[in-house]
Amino acid sequence: MPGVDVLVAGAGGFIGGHLVLDLARQGLAVRAVDRKPLDEWYQVEVTAENVQADLSELSAARAAVTDVRIVYNLAADMGGMGFIENNKAACMLSVLTSSHVLLAAKEQQVERYFYASSACVYAAGKQMDAQTIPLREEDAYPAMPEDGYGWEKLFSERMCRHFFEDYATPTRVARFHNVYGPHGTWTGGREKAPAAVCRKVAEAVLNNHDEIEIWGDGEQTRSFMFIDDCLKGTQLIANGDSPEPVNLGSSELVSINELVTLVEDIAGVRLRRRHLLDAPRGVRGRNSDNSMIRQVYGWEPDISLRNGLTATYAWVYDQVKRSVS
């Protein structure tokens, strides 16, 4: 019998780190792998087998998957919109990791292979309006995804489909919609909107400033899913019966300006807003249609944006305070 219950690729990242902890708490034997040195991982679970390895190399991918029953592949070079728009080639090179981990999983004949895709696979032409129609899974085609990162994710989705069809590899695919929460990237250029807004508000509070910078006019819209909901949905899809890609996100649409107001409410401040109209802003509007995941899995997120942001702001505030003390 295989000696490792679960491999988490990308375990040094935000979602991967939380997933390793959650799986380990369930009593599973977890192999956690990331290319970053261990001291750069967001979280480290001491009961896991923690491995630094570059899974873009086929030999490393094969070694990581050896004796593993279930693979969760969350490994990707990614970040917020500023990073994605300025690092398209780096984002696309993640296809090496996606390909090699999938190939190794097929060779090992794993019980399940879960691939973390993204809402960035959706056609840009369907995301031109802030009051957007929620994106259904079929809206990924005809294909015109986010340049770089989105193309890599869509290609890797297709590989999962064809490995399932041609080799009977039991692949499962979730399209993550803007996951946020504590223990994530909050500074340095890779952070996403919730963490960036929390940091900016915390910096204003701690430094007695009265202004916040907002990328774009702030009317661009998104939905944001708290990490705990993401973990539940991820494992539900991984253990489910459908190989079809499915949205995993909140359908609670909010503008960036409204996101700022929520964080201000949590922090108990009001700040003057300076909009940077030439900054990266991504698509105009994006929201998740959760019809398929409700029908197939009976799932909806439990945690409201306000409650999730309250926990996230408290954590980010502590990080900012430590960094300036």
71: domain CATH number is 3.40.50.720
Domain co-membership, 106 together with 237: yes
Buried b (16+ CB within 10 A) or exposed e, 93-114: ebbbbbbbbbbbbbebebebbb
Question: Which residues pair with residue 179 across a beta bridge?
Answer: 225
Q: Does some domain include residue 297?
A: no
pLDDT of residue 250: 97
> Which member of 42, 149, 180, 313 is catalytic?
149
Q: Does some domain include residue 259?
A: yes
Buried b (16+ CB within 10 A) or exposed e, 265-304: ebbeeebeeeeeeeeebbbbbbbbbbebbeeebebebebe
Is the pTM here over 0.85, yes or no? yes
Q: Does some domain include residue 295?
A: no
Domain co-membership, 92 together with 231: yes
pLDDT of residue 282: 81
Domain co-membership, 231 together with 97: yes
Domain co-membership, 219 together with 231: no
- The total domain count for the chain is 2
pLDDT of residue 225: 98
311: domain CATH number is 3.90.25.10
Domain co-membership, 81 together with 205: no
CB under 8 A, 24+ apart: contacts of 85-90: 85/280, 85/282, 86/280, 87/148, 88/147, 88/148, 88/149, 89/148
CA angle centred on 109, ends 106 and 111, rounded to 5°: 110
Question: Is 167 one of the annotated active-site residues of the chain?
Answer: no
Among 203, 202, 185, 183, CA closest to 193: 185
pLDDT of residue 1: 39
Residues of the domain holding 94: 4-179+225-248
Domain co-membership, 320 together with 191: yes
Per-residue confidence in pLDDT tens, the chain, 325 aa: 348 999 999 999 999 999 999 999 999 999 999 999 999 999 999 999 999 999 999 999 999 999 999 999 999 988 777 788 889 999 999 999 999 999 999 999 999 999 999 999 999 889 989 888 999 999 999 999 999 999 999 999 999 999 999 999 999 999 999 999 999 999 988 899 999 999 999 999 999 999 999 999 999 999 999 999 999 999 999 999 999 999 999 999 999 999 999 999 999 999 999 999 998 878 899 999 999 999 999 999 999 999 999 999 999 999 999 998 6
Among 132, 96, 139, CA closest to 245: 139
Cβ atoms within 10 A of the Cβ of 16, count? 25
Domain co-membership, 162 together with 282: no
